[in-house]
Structure 1
Amino acid sequence: MSEGLSDPKAMRALAHPARLMILSRLGVEGSATATEVAEIAGITPSAASYHLRMLAKYGFVEDAPPRGDGRERLWKTVDAPITIGVLPGDQPDVRDAKVSLMLAFRREANEAADRALAEVERESAEWRDVTRFSRMRIRADAEELARLNESIEKLIEPYIAAKRDEKAAPSGARVAEVQVNLFPVAKRPAQGLPTEDHDAAR
């Protein structure tokens, strides 16, 4: 991810697990009431209302056009991507908030992948065949890594669930997830040699 969020209060507000789940639900399935998002987040409708108001306070969600008789308040995501990146000039509180939010993003992404892996055997052969969990090491400079990220984003853009109308997608289309992580590899700390000779103890 690149530059974007810089308000520590907004980032701390977004890092709450229930709020990330609510934001994901609204982004993928469209506008919803507090009661509708409460179920996916495993919280009460009143708690969901509070979280939605907090998300609205920091500009992540907003009121959606009413449906039916208009008695229920509907919420939708703000049509702007959420980006975040640690910058050299960040103050300590900003840097800490950014790292906390990115860790929260990673936890949610890991949980989504874990759920998919746990269910993969229940999927049809068609979906099992296209499910991928891959990890690759590449050799590139910073400029090449930036270009690679731009290329990946352009490739994915036409399929983004929040922007692709269900009617425009093929009949068998369903929500899938792409997780992309580009980062310079940090050196793994040396574990050192064992302090005990286990063979000698036998």
Structure 2
Amino acid sequence: MTEARSDSHRMMISDPQVMRALAHPARIAIVEYLNSRDGGGTATECAEIVGLSPSATSYHLRALAKFGLIEQAPSRGDARERVWRVPSASWMFDAGREAGPAARAAEQALTEAHAARAMERVRDWSRRAGDEPAEWYDKALFSDTLLLLTAEELAELNEAVLALLRPYHPRRREGDPPPGARTVAVQYRTVPLA
């Protein structure tokens, strides 16, 4: 069994096989798409998002399901249609402090795939920002702050930020967002510098 443990808010991924399964741009995009849709999505719907054929997308869906990163959702009425969903609102990954070289390599591959996806979001925003309504343009934020913290203070900061985000996770699954709500990428990282 893998170590993709889920609670109602966050899945913690520590198994190198699971990390390798997710460290593919199409798979990350599929998980994000399914997470953004109440009721999940089909291979055909996911294929439109990732730019692959439905059969290639089905392959990726099965690989994600094998490791518990997605699951089959209730049918929408057409028994022939296979609908997929994500079991948790977000995920985190960590091979662990004592991880060996294979686990570290898997973690690094997933880190790089995730960082590339995050950077593409920033580039996409930069390309279209001038066309956005003022209410969204004025609220977007890029911040890069260097803080001098102890390990305990960093733990407190992380918990405080994650606590601020927690109330917004259920909205994606409840299917009744407030009027005008949009999916917003919040990219939060804390990494001690050398």
Tell me the TM-score normalised to structure 2 length: 0.88
Structure showing greater radius of gyration is 1
- The answer to whether residue 147 in structure 2 is matched with residue 138 in structure 1 is yes
User: Compared with structure 1, are the counterparts of its residues 4 and 174 closer, same or farther at alpha carbon in structure 2 (3 Å cutoff)?
Assistant: closer
User: Compared with structure 1, are the counterparts of its residues 107 and 183 closer, same or farther at alpha carbon in structure 2 (3 Å cutoff)?
Assistant: same
Alignment of 1:52-131 (within 5 A): 52-79=61-88, 81-131=90-140
Q: In structure 1, what is the Cα distance between the partners aligned to 2:109 and 2:163?
A: 28
- Relative to its length, the structure with more strand (as a share) is 2
- Whether the aligned pair in 1 keeps the contact of 2:35 and 2:89 (CA below 8 Å) is no
The letter for the 1-side match of 2:77 is G
Q: Deviations over 1:96-128 (max 9, x none)?
A: 111111111111111111111111000011111
Structure 2 spans left out of the alignment, 5+ residues: 1-10
Query: Who is 2:5 aligned against?
Result: none
Count the aligned residue pairs: 184
Instruction: Give, in angstroms, the shift of residue 5 of structure 1.
Output: 2.4
- Whether the aligned pair in 2 keeps the contact of 1:29 and 1:162 (CA below 8 Å) is no
- Whether the aligned pair in 1 keeps the contact of 2:89 and 2:169 (CA below 8 Å) is no
Larger relative contact order (CA 8 Å, sep ≥ 6): 2
The letter for the 2-side match of 1:123 is E
Q: In structure 1, what is the Cα distance between the partners aligned to 2:99 and 2:130?
A: 45
Q: In structure 1, what is the Cα distance between the partners aligned to 2:55 and 2:171?
A: 26
Query: Who is 1:5 aligned against?
Result: 13
Structure 1 spans left out of the alignment, 5+ residues: 187-202
Q: In structure 1, what is the Cα distance between the partners aligned to 2:182 and 2:89?
A: 23
Percent identity between the two aligned chains:
43
The letter for the 1-side match of 2:35 is G
Q: Deviations over 1:14-43 (max 9, x none)?
A: 101100000000011230000000010010
Tell me the TM-score normalised to structure 1 length: 0.85
